């Protein structure tokens, strides 16, 4: 009897650990996804699973299959907006030396982290062969490069700083339609007019962690302009400087006009509200365009768009990029993939479905809808800056702290504490 | 005598009505019936150890191994994609920074408030339902199933639907509006924290301004408590029903002979006899609550000003979004300690003390 006690004790400890571990161990994310087994399957790893995303991905895969006969592709897409889940699985596979041949990531710090850790190979040969550096913006190629070598091929650029508006609501409230050159002050006075009419002036999908930071980011760009923006993200201008404080103050002036349901609304619900006439404005990246047309409203008659107030002439880039694994199982196929997705035809087909802009500046976009033609024109002529809210401009660590700081700021409205927390956010 | 017998039956029944995969199962595992142990001591049978060996091995690797690894990571410098287990100096820097993070302080406040309110509501609702269903003469099986059904739903489904209900301008407030209440509660969008005691606590805690959030009850968490209780009250009810059916019917006769009415019988006889079951359910629900993620994530997310944020969401975002593996692991370790603090004393009493 007595001898069984230690065993019983062990069982007790075992049970409690088993219970606790269900929520406890974060370092053991679930197994690998997608088959990696044999054959000449090129494995493409992404987080494109929603309707327009997977349609766009299929365009790339079809283009690749068309270019290399008999090729097969394993589509290792992992669901989850923003790639949180995909990131978890990719991380496990990289550590297990079981990398996919090619995977989706962002330019900037995200690529650099893979380069520094030695997971990806450079794509100099792809760029040299097709002269890609000449037909892609310098800011983009730089963000994909480390030590003079380029490591990623981008598929398309979304624009982050777009202000969408419901034309009928503006007209009913007697508000003139915003035109490029719209200022923050005009914006705030228009919001006030709408509110006086009983219309919800501004939709924010704050249930999604990125949406409020997106609004702040656009306000920041509208206040400080692209040059100071680049100094900020490069660490050459302090987050506690007066310009940032001014942007933060403007942001607090916008908040009273936000939909009172904001924190229970996702970005796509917020966009739908704009479509159905439940709110007049939304500051959101141009993935909202696909959502609006899906909701059955028409560009020009029902809704319009303008660069976010004060940010005319700047284009906030939200870009997806593919990298090739250093120890890819099919290195030749992976290089081929990189070359194909950079081709003019694949760029056009992909972006038509995705709603973004081809990153190649020599693609003929005349077959795209009016909004996308305008975005392509701006992409080729505007000052390009990288998004903070979507992780291109800074490290993922900073990005998360940026989100958390904005969430707290929306309640505290304490400008000094906010800029202080941004300046210590990189740690 | 009767009481102790019911106690044990009650506890043992924890697993009886529960569907497969219930977190309750391992609890009962730790307490094999006394008689069986006496007949088959492990030392007499090597084959038994052999049979157990695979599960011990798997448990050892996938539970203890990873717990140890998580603790190890929480002490490391690991941030970013390249893993490093290099130890941080001074040791525990991550934990110290974590304690000073406003968001994590809010998470700790939320999870404690959530757990307390959720336990009270779910157990009370489960008990009331069980007493009603048990005393119902017709369609008892139907009612039992109806109340148990929410438990079969995924937390994500519950979360999304309850988010619609508790969105101020589109949900429950429309009904209130019809009833003449025109400015209903702000539900999950309400950033208010009532009963803030952080100033008083800050005065006690040495080292000046440590608490950066309001320590009180965030109103936005109450709708989440309601949704969670709606889902798990049926589970509590099923367990109470099992315990109720093991009560001797003669108890009721004896009580009524002594002149006890329905209410007196329930309050003075049934509830005390159900107490052990209540503790068992409380422990199971508490650990569900402490590690909650999916329901909150789907229903309110982090909420306005982190009013509904929980440690589970914090761990996920720090680890997989921010790639701060050490911070995520440290927060996991804190969650682990919290859960152990609830479960360990219970298991200790159930197994070690009762074996004596």
pLDDT in the model for residue A14: 44
Closest chain A C-alpha to B217 CA, distance in angstroms: 16
Between the CA of residue B336 and those of B67, B70, B224, B287, what are the distances in Å?
Answer: 9, 10, 22, 10
Contact B148, B234 (CB under 8 A): yes
**pLDDT for the residue numbered A18:** 42
Residues in chain A within 8 Å Cβ distance of B80: 113, 117, 395-397
Q: Are A306 and A182 in contact (CB under 8 A)?
A: yes
Taking the C-alpha atoms of residue B170 and residue B230, their distance in angstroms, rounded to an integer, is 20
Contacts with B79 from chain A: Cβ below 8 Å? 397
Whether B305 sits inside 8 A of A20 (CB atoms) is no
Is the CB of B167 less than 8 angstroms away from the CB of A261? yes
Q: Which candidate from B30, B340, B351 shows the least CB-CB separation from A20?
A: B340
Tell if the CB–CB gap between A14 and B63 is shorter than 8 Å.
yes
Question: Which residue from A3, A95, A263 is facing B41, i.e. has the nearest CB?
Answer: A3
Does B84 contact A at CB distance below 8 Å?
no
Phi-psi region of A409 (alpha: psi -120 to 50; beta: other; left: phi over 0): alpha
| Chain A interface includes B80 (CB < 8 A) | yes
Of A234, A268, A254, the residue nearest A109 (C-alpha):
A234
Nearest residue of A to residue B190, measured between CA atoms: A263
Q: What angle do CA B268, B272, B276 make, to 5 degrees?
A: 170
Burial profile B25-41: b = 16 or more Cβ within 10 angstroms, e = fewer: bbbbebbeeeeebeeee
Q: CA–CA distance from B49 to each of A6, A322, B33, B189 (Å)?
A: 14, 51, 18, 55
Q: Which distant-in-sequence residues (6+ apart) come within 8 Å of B349 by Cβ?
A: none
Residues 6+ apart with CB under 8 A from A372: A289, A351, A352, A355, A356, A357, A365
H, E, C per residue of chain B: CHHHHHHHHHHHHHHCCCCCCCCCHHHHHCCCCHHHHHHCCHHHCHHHHHHHHHHHHHHHHHHHHHHHHHHHHHCECCCCCCCCCCECCCCCHHHHHHHCCHHHHHHHHHHHHHHHHHHHHHHHHHHHHHHHHHHCCCCHHHHHHHHHHHHHCCHHHHHHHHHHHCCCCCCHHHHHHHCCCCCCCCHHHCCCEECCCHHHHHHHCCCCCCCCCCCCEECCHHHHHHHHHHHHHHHHHHHHHHHHHCCCHHHHHHHHHCCCCHHHHHHHHHHHHHHHHHHHHHHHHHHHHHCCCHHHHHHCCCCHHHCCCCHHHHHHHHHHHCCCHHHHHHHHHHHHHHHHHHHHHHHHHHHHHHHC
Rounded Cα gap, residues A221 and A228, in angstroms: 9
Q: What's the distance, Cα to Cα, between the start and end of chain A in Å?
A: 55
Please, which residues have CB within 8 angstroms of residue B66's CB and are 6 or more apart in sequence?
A21, A25, A27, A28
- From first to last of the 356 residues of chain B, give the pLDDT tens digit: 333 333 333 333 333 333 333 344 344 444 444 444 455 555 567 888 888 999 999 999 999 999 999 999 999 999 988 888 999 989 999 999 999 999 999 999 999 999 999 999 999 999 999 999 998 878 888 999 999 999 999 999 999 999 999 999 888 999 999 998 888 899 999 999 998 888 888 888 776 678 888 999 999 999 999 999 999 999 999 999 999 999 888 998 899 899 888 889 988 999 999 999 999 999 999 999 999 999 999 999 999 999 999 999 999 999 988 889 999 999 999 999 999 999 999 989 888 877 76
Question: CB neighbours of A272 closer than 8 A, spacing ≥ 6?
Answer: A291, A295
The verdict on B67 touching A (C-beta cutoff 8 Å) is: yes
Chain-centre distance of CA A337, in angstroms? 22
Cβ of B67 within 8 Å of Cβ of A15? The answer is no
Residues of chain A positioned with their CB less than 8 A from the CB of B339? 16, 19-20, 23-24
Spatial distance between the Cα atoms of B216 and B209, rounded to a whole number of angstroms: 17
The closest CB to that of A26, out of B315, B348, B352, belongs to: B315
CB contact under 8 Å between A114 and B189, yes or no, is no
The shortest C-alpha distance from A1 to chain B (Å) reads 7
Q: How far apart are CA A364 and CA A376, in angstroms?
A: 10
On whether the CB atoms of residues B285 and B122 are closer than 8 A, the answer is yes
Q: Do A4 and B42 touch (CB under 8 A)?
A: yes
CA of A87 vs chain B CAs: smallest distance (Å): 6
Beta carbons of A22 and B291 less than 8 Å apart: yes
Residue of chain A minimizing CA distance to B166:
A264
* Chain B contact probe: residue of A23, A87, A412 with most B CBs at under 10 A: A23
For A361-413, the pLDDT digits (tens) are 999 999 999 999 999 999 999 999 999 999 899 988 999 999 999 999 999 99
Residues of A in contact with B328 (CB under 8 A): 26
What ipTM does this complex have? 0.82
C-alpha dihedral (A181, A187, A188, A193), degrees to nearest 10: 140
How close B257 comes to chain A (CA, Å)? 44
Three-state SS across chain A?
CCCHHHHHHHHHHHHHHHHHHHHHCCCCCCCCCCCCCCCCEEEEEECCCCHHHHHHHHHHHHHHHHHCCCCEEEEEECCCHHHHHHHHHHHHHHHCCCCCCEEEECCCHHHHHHHHCCCEECCHHHHHHHCHHHHCCHHHHHHCEECCEECEEEEEEEECCEEEEEHHHHHHCCCCCCCCCCCHHHHHHHHHHHHHCCCCCEECCCCCCCHHHHHHHHHHHHHHHHHHHHHHHCCCCCCCCHHHHHHHHHHHHHHHHECCCHHHCCHHHHHHHHHHCCCCEEECCCHHHHHHHHCCCCECCCEEEEECCCCCCEEEEEEEEEEEECCCCCHHHHHHHHHHHCCHHHHHHHHHHHCCEECCCCCCCCCCCHHHHHHHHHHHHCEEEECCCCCCCCCHHHHHHHHHHHHHHHHHCCHHHHHHHHHCCCC
Structure tokens at B225: 């408590």
Q: What is the model's pLDDT at position A285?
A: 95
Ranges of residues in chain A with a pLDDT under 70 are 1-40, 80-84, 427
The Cα–Cα gap between B198 and B212 comes to 8
Give the β-pairing of A202-203 and A281-283.
parallel
> How many A/B residue pairs have CB atoms within 8 Å?
205
**List of residues 6+ apart from A162 with CB closer than 8 A:** A283, A284, A285, A286, A288, A305, A306, A307, A308
Cβ count near B308 (within 10 Å): 29
> Taking CB atoms and an 8 Å cutoff, what residues of chain B touch A29?
320
Residues with Cβ < 8 Å from A152, sequence gap 6 or more? A105, A107, A111, A120, A123, A144, A321, A322, A323
Angle ∠(A76,A81,A87) on CA atoms, nearest 5: 55
Residues of A in contact with B315 (CB under 8 A): 26
């Amino acid at each position: 009897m007595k001898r069984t006690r230690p065993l019983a004790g062990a069982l007790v400890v075992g049970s409690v650990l088993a219970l606790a571990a269900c929520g406890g161990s974060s370092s053991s994310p679930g197994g690998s996804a997608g088959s990696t087994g044999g054959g000449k399957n090129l494995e493409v790893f992404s987080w494109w699973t929603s309707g327009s995303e997977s349609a766009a991905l299929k365009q790339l895969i079809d283009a690749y299959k068309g270019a290399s006969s008999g090729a097969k592709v394993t589509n290792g897409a992992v669901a989850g907006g923003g790639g949180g889940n995909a990131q978890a699985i990719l991380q496990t596979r990289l550590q297990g030396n079981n990398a996919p041949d090619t995977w989706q990531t962002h330019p900037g710090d995200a690529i650099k982290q893979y380069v520094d850790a030695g997971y990806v190979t450079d794509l100099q040969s792809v760029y040299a062969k097709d002269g890609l550096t000449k037909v892609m913006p310098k800011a983009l190629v730089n963000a994909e490069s480390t030590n003079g070598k380029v490591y990623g091929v981008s598929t398309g650029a979304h624009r982050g700083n777009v202000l969408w508006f419901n034309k009928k609501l503006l007209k009913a409230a007697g508000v003139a339609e915003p035109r490029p050159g719209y200022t923050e002050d005009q914006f705030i006075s228009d919001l006030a007019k709408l509110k006086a009419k009983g219309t919800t002036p501004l939709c924010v999908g704050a249930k999604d962690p990125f949406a409020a930071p997106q609004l702040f980011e656009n306000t920041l760009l509208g206040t400080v302009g692209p040059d100071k923006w680049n100094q900020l993200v490069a660490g050459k201008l302090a987050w506690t400087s007066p310009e940032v404080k001014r942007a933060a103050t403007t942001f607090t002036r916008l908040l009273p006009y936000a939909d009172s349901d904001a924190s229970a609304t996702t970005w796509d619900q917020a966009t739908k509200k704009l479509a159905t006439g439940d709110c007049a404005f939304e500051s959101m990246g141009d993935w909202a365009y696909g959502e609006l047309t899906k909701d059955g409203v028409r560009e020009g008659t029902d809704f319009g768009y303008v660069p976010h107030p004060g940010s005319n002439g700047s284009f906030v880039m939200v870009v997806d990029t593919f990298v090739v694994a250093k120890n890819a199982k099919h290195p030749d196929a992976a290089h081929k993939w990189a070359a194909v997705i950079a081709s003019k035809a694949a760029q056009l087909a992909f972006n038509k479905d995705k709603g973004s802009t081809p990153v190649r500046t020599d693609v003929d976009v005349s077959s795209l809808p009016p909004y996308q033609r305008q975005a392509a024109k701006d992409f080729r002529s505007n000052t390009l800056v990288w998004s903070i809210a979507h992780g291109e401009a800074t490290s993922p660590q900073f990005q998360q702290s940026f989100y958390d700081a904005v969430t707290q700021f929306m309640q505290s409205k304490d400008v000094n504490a906010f800029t202080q927390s941004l300046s210590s956010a990189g740690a | 005598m009767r009481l102790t017998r019911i106690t044990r039956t009650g506890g043992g029944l924890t697993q009886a009505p529960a569907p497969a995969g219930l977190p309750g199962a391992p609890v009962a595992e730790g307490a094999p019936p006394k008689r069986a142990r006496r007949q088959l001591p492990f030392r007499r049978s090597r084959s038994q150890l052999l049979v157990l060996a695979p599960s011990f091995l798997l448990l050892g690797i996938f539970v203890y191994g990873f717990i140890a690894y998580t603790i190890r990571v929480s002490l490391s410098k690991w941030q970013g994609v390249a893993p490093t287990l290099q130890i941080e100096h001074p040791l525990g820097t991550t934990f110290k920074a974590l304690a000073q993070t406003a968001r994590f302080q809010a998470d700790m406040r939320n999870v404690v408030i959530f757990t307390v309110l959720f336990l009270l509501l779910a157990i009370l609702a489960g008990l009331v339902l069980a007493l009603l269903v048990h005393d119902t003469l017709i369609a008892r099986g139907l009612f039992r199933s109806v109340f148990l059904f929410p438990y079969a739903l995924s937390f994500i489904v519950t979360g999304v639907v309850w988010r619609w209900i508790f969105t101020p301008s589109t949900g429950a407030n429309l009904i209130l509006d019809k009833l003449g209440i025109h400015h209903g509660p702000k539900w999950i969008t309400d950033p208010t924290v009532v009963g803030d005691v952080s100033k008083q606590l800050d005065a006690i805690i040495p080292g000046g301004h440590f608490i950066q959030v309001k320590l009180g009850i965030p109103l936005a968490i109450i709708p989440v408590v309601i949704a969670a209780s709606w889902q798990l009250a049926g589970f509590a009810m099923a367990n109470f029903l099992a315990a109720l059916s093991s009560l001797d019917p003669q108890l009721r006769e004896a009580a009524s002979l002594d002149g006890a009415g329905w209410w007196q019988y329930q309050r003075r006889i049934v509830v005390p006899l159900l107490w052990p079951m209540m503790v068992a359910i409380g422990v199971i629900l508490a650990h569900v609550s402490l590690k909650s993620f999916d329901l909150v994530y789907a229903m309110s997310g982090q909420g306005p000003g982190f009013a509904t944020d929980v440690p589970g969401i914090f761990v996920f975002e720090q680890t997989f979004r921010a790639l701060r593996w050490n911070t995520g692991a440290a927060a996991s370790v804190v969650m682990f300690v919290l859960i152990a603090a609830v479960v360990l004393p219970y298991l200790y009493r159930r197994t070690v003390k009762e074996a004596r």
